[in-house]
Amino acid sequence: MGREKEYRQRLKYQVGSAKKKTLENQVAVELKSNLGMNETEARLLASRIGRWLLSRPEVRGPEQILVEAVDGRNGFVRNGRGATKKVKSTAFSPEDLELELEMGLAAMQLGRVLRLIEEAYAQDALLSAKQVGMICNLTPTS
């Protein structure tokens, strides 16, 4: 008999590879190697440092982009000539691959769209459907 078939092997490899390249993992490795922290302490501290760094308005993470969005939640104008401001959005996150592995492609795409909208809303801005579609490379029918 042959060996047992492993499904979604490439996707599992991509998830593992993306996890190793995250900011939190890089900080955890530095904390373990330079400060001699144990695994649990390094991961906990690295996760807090990573969240703090990415929440700073002047710092843009490796997976984040600046998008021009409508300023203010109530300032939306149909023709798009309202006041705008730069918004920091996460176009890709390593959690996207984990979500795709667990729930499938459609759930991952929906999660990505919702994350973009929530991030803009938290920064008091609105993204249009056209902008979300361009960032996520989605059409209205997909």
Predicted confidence at residue 24, as pLDDT, reads 87
Residue 58, helix vs strand vs coil: coil
Cβ proximity of 118 and 127 under 8 Å: no
Residue 47 has pLDDT above 70, yes or no: yes
Domain ranges of the chain: 1-59, 63-142
Number of H helices, E strands in the chain: 6, 3
Token pair in block for residue 33:
């190697």
Give the dihedral of Cα atoms 112, 115, 120, 122; nearest 10 deg.
Answer: 180
Q: What does the pLDDT look like over 59-92, one tens digit per residue?
A: 887 788 899 888 887 766 666 577 888 999 988 8
Q: How confident is the model at residue 141 (pLDDT cuts 50, 70, 90)?
A: low
Buried b (16+ CB within 10 A) or exposed e, 13-52: eebeebeeebbbbebbeebbeeeebeeeebbebbbeebee
Residue 46 has pLDDT above 90, yes or no: yes
Token pair in block for residue 96:
């996207």
Predicted confidence at residue 1, as pLDDT, reads 62
Tell me what the pLDDT averaged over the chain comes to. 85
Predicted confidence at residue 80, as pLDDT, reads 59
Residue 100 has pLDDT above 90, yes or no: no
Q: What percent of the chain has pLDDT over 70?
A: 90
DSSP 78: T
